[in-house]
Structure 1
Amino acid sequence: MRTLKIYDKGFSPLTTFLEGEYSGLEYRQTLGEVGDCGFVLDLSNPKVTDANLRHYNRLEVIEDGVVQWVGFITQKTVKLSVVEIKAKGLIGLLKKRLVGSGYTASGDAGLAVSSLLGTINATEDTGITFGEEDIITSVNLTFERQSAFDAIKKIADTVGAQFEVTTTRKLNFKTQVGSDLSSSVVFRYNSGQVSQANILRFEVEDDGDAIITKAYGKSSTLSSSQENTSLKANFGVLEGFRDFRVANTQASLDGLTSSLCQGPLFSPSIELTPTVADNFKVGDVVRIQLKNKLINLDDSYQILEKQVRVAGLEKHITVRVNSLIQSIVYNIGDINSRLSLLESKV
């Protein structure tokens, strides 16, 4: 049973839409970013009211009693007989809340994020509470009326952390969020055993436009120069600069400047067969086994994005995982042609 539960902005229940009362349900979660959700309601349903569908009312997608997605309503498109609803992930509320003028986040990064969230909730409760943290690296950053989301992201960039708001409304700030499920959750395709595959499509875009091998940063009188020697050996000197403004110490500025260095953006997108169990979430580490004439891949990867499309009783899941090594990416064209067999054989 899959339901859509609507709350007011304080998470007091308003109504629930049952299976058959909505259609076109899709939702997406992305690590360290704001996810989204969409669905369609019939205007003849008495539950479809201005009060129930007010902007910033909270929304939960619930499956068999378990919350799969949580967020808030942002847009309604009214047509002759239906209304299309769009929502954003709950973490998006932190983009609508500002830290004060001259707000300083200092000390252990995890505790600084916890304190920042507490300050935001003191003005009006977002419904998000602080969860787990394991970062003890210190930061010293000053923000000037920036969004809480941007401030947390700056702190994360400084210390190389990840953050998420879970479906239980907990803000986690860790070296790596999620669980290691690589021994139990396996996405596979073997050209010699197509009938056992659970990967329907596999696609990678290899984008080198954003490569930076040497980065320069400044903040007031401080300056920093950071270089990734491995990237430089492969691609040469490709430079970038940013005035961060928020860093108060050399260590904080060095961390932010170092985060500018990045390699090619190639993050694989994998569409799974509808039979795959939905027992993983964004941040989890899963195993990918991919074998054909040219490639023999068997390794663990973190899920960066998960998109779910509901069609009747079926769930169609697409995930994006962290980067594959370049030797795999450069042979990816061969995979695409072989995976087309799945559409007719699986």
Structure 2
Amino acid sequence: MAASLTDFLPRNFPVIQAPMAGVSDSQVVIAASHAGFLGSLGAGMMEPDVMRKEIQAIRAATPKPFCVNLFVLDEIGDAAPDLGSIPWLTELYEHYNVAFTMPTKFAPSFEAQFATLLEDAPPMASFTFGCLSKEQVAACNARNIYVVGTATSTSEALAWIDVGADAICAQGIEAGGHRGSFLTSAEHGMGLIALLQEIRSETDHPLIAAGGIATGQAVLAALALGADAVQIGTALLPCRDVLLPAPYRRALLKKPFGEKTELTQAFSGRHARGIQNGFLIAGRKQVALPYPLQNAVTQLLRKSSSQTDGETLSLWAGQAVHLVRDVTLTDLANDIKTEIKQTAQNLQENWLPCFS
């Protein structure tokens, strides 16, 4: 019998820890799993050998199901890009007095990552930045890997359904970090409320809601709109058992309003939502190299402020960043569960009788 999404979710808590590349390593997945979330390994930037070790570490620490996320990317060579088209970036390196060295490699091979995924066969795998082929989805299913495709539009959701994906992660424009768009504009996407309703009107496929979810009230709202589960990222980032650069955590816990986040291509070459800082502002309306080239050539500049002021660090965060909490992952899970119960009780007592 084929697996269903509920087979992977913690009992009575349909909440997935978002796979955040560079943050959600095996230790975060293990901590999230112990806290009651479905843990997700952000393996998009991991070399295959690292990815295998991280999967082994998760399996050694917990028997619970987990997800591995990969970026669907075309293979690229190792030829150095021409920085002449992005003089603003070289000027920023000079401004912050950071020495630039051209990377020798720009991204892991997706083909090699995918081969490792099939070999190690985690219970679930999610994909973003592109869409697998029917053959690739079938290969995952043959290894009992449940396939989740990221969609920022209904056309992308239907594309994933067409190739045989088991579930869709609907990513609203509110979401922090990189947009998963591959058919539609990454810059002018739909909000999660409209996106969920539209996709649900076209399919009964399992749906995971992502973007702007930070409270039990939002979890319940997403479920009411047709989601089968939700995925939370920004709200987990400042938790005390998630290792973040100090300026990143400080920026989150300042609780900026959502209007202080915006989409930018400047850091990586793909649209991603983060908190405004010096780098993001300097990169507005500037030309960027395509991902992953831009991501590679900004790495040294980003790293330079990871332990100082964070002004050149990618501070990925969604529009619900004002609602983050300074708690542990376990405390956050318990808070969300309490909010779900209290909100459901309020609806039952005060509103549902009005419609009976």
TM superposition score normalised by structure 2: 0.27
More strand by share: 1
Structure showing greater Rg: 1
